[in-house]
Chain A
């Protein structure tokens, strides 16, 4: 512990643009701490993001960083990874970015099992545009475009990615910062498509509209409602209420896309030589 993480940051670009009490700094710290603890060569790490509050994180991170268009980070990252499979490619995205406008890219990257690590800074709201509901905003909660309460059913992003074929899926929260760091480490080490649903508080645009006045109230909410995967399984579905599971939900091995495609290249080149 106690490693100087500032060498992974573009300190001169600080202060960041996030609001006071925002959870995104905690998730960003967890990512660089995971990179540090894994001893990755920073030159061989590329971080790709889309649009939204979360997607500003790479600007502060001292790697090759690519801040793309709304929802498209995973598709850009697919190009980077296929062009240079030796790079560790980490995608930083938000719930609107990944699950609404970029939902198609998320499920297809999971299906291909391409070796990307996607960290979703999930604050259940569009923060950059000041508080509209997203595909994960809980039923009944309020947003600037859900003034009478949310009536759309939310996605569980972990279930979505597992259903689409992602081979490593985990969830944690900014309250569980150490746990979050650990699951990010596992995700980065995983060979294949890995997804971390990182709950991150937005007191400014979500908390204040939903009876959680500040960051502390929201962190307390995470503390009180997060349960381990095993404990979650023991609670009868009717009694789960606002509780949600954290932990690693899936960790499986399956053929990774870049490796599969490398075999295609070998086959094509061999057949080409034979001619």
Chain B
């Protein structure tokens, strides 16, 4: 009915609409601020498209149900925030190990612990990467704009299906609760990827790498389709059965890592502003990047040679982008983030001493202001 496809969306709402457009047909969740609107909207919208919503008894159970539904063939998602993200780690690790596609939304709020439930933070950057035991690469995308929430939710599903892996959508309270104008892509313009399925009737080895491009990602059967395969969180061989053999186990663990790390350049999306003519680089993500963008524009207007690298993919870490920009002489790299230096630490690692890294940090719920960043850049000598 509307002539235009532009509409006001809340970030959490855009996430749900993006997920449904991507093909999500199962959501299991547990109420937690500031992600609750995602569960509420899924309870309305999913049955309208023939999908299933369930409010589970706890965060752990909702992540478990998501894994189960995905193995039974549905694109599945859960959403949570800090304390719930901690609880979900167990079964995110299971999904990584058992290579189950699914999307986990974390609308970050102030921590540690219960923290400040209605206030924004970005303190789960490292938890997204390292929150589980054992070695596993993870993909995490971090939107800064409501329109980007929509497109990145679609992207999160696409990556999870293509790489058979859990993908984290690392939102924050600002972008989750903010309402902005969103212009939806026309249905035909949206690229939707589905998981590779095994050929019917073949002997199915659910964890056996194959030949050719993307051969490192085995197809995934659907429970009930006749493959009668085994899925376990134990270290397993190509058939999916547990092994204690280092010779069998090591390639499996390495493969779930390399399937992501080897695609770093393809996976890493970022927005760059004036990076090719910058003496000072600002690196940021999510809500802080909006302040950073404003600061960089204002500084440019004042004649300061500053550039912005806004990370959209935060994991795997875009080392190559930072190193490319840092190949020119930078006086400093300024990293605004709503934590005590998690991104700065990673940037410092990539720079390996080539330029000083200066943090602009806030942790108690007040969004970093452009003036904070302008000041930090102006102080660089």
Tally of B interface residues using CB under 8 Å: 46
B interface footprint on A236-275 (CB within 8 Å = 1, 0 otherwise): 0000000000000000000000000100110111011000
Q: A48-B68, A69-B64, A82-B54 are in contact. Are A272 and B227 (CB under 8 A)?
A: no
- Interface residue A64 (Cβ < 8 Å from any Cβ of B): yes
* CB-defined contacts of B54 to chain A, threshold 8 Å: 78, 82, 261
Whole-angstrom distance from the CB of A90 to the nearest CB of chain B? Answer: 12
Interface SS of chain B: helix, strand, loop or mixed? mixed
Contact B52 A67, beta carbon cutoff 8 Å: no
* CB-defined contacts of B67 to chain A, threshold 8 Å: 68, 76, 79
- Interface residue A182 (Cβ < 8 Å from any Cβ of B): no
B73 nearest in chain A by CB position: A83
Contact B226 A75, beta carbon cutoff 8 Å: no
Contact of B230 among A65, A78, A86 (CB under 8 A): A65
A268 to B46, CA, bound (A): 9
Chain A positions 12-46 with a Cβ under 8 Å from a chain B Cβ: 13, 42-44, 46
* CB-defined contacts of A207 to chain B, threshold 8 Å: none
Contact of B224 among A46, A67, A72, A265 (CB under 8 A): A46
Whole-angstrom distance from the CB of A28 to the nearest CB of chain B? Answer: 15
* CB-defined contacts of A72 to chain B, threshold 8 Å: 60-61, 64, 90-91
Contact B233 A69, beta carbon cutoff 8 Å: yes
Interface SS of chain A: helix, strand, loop or mixed? helix
- Interface residue B241 (Cβ < 8 Å from any Cβ of A): yes
Chain B positions 20-34 with a Cβ under 8 Å from a chain A Cβ: 25-26, 28
- Interface residue A80 (Cβ < 8 Å from any Cβ of B): yes
Interface centre among A13, A79, A82, A86 (most CB of B within 10 A): A79
Interface centre among B65, B223, B241 (most CB of A within 10 A): B223
- Interface residue B376 (Cβ < 8 Å from any Cβ of A): no
Contact A75 B64, beta carbon cutoff 8 Å: yes
Tally of A interface residues using CB under 8 Å: 41
Interface centre among B48, B54, B64 (most CB of A within 10 A): B64
Chain B positions 337-354 with a Cβ under 8 Å from a chain A Cβ: none
A43 to B232, CA, bound (A): 19
* CB-defined contacts of B70 to chain A, threshold 8 Å: 79, 83
Q: Contact residues of B with A, CB < 8 Å?
A: 25-26, 28, 44, 47-52, 54, 56-58, 60-62, 64-74, 76, 90-91, 94, 223-234, 241-242
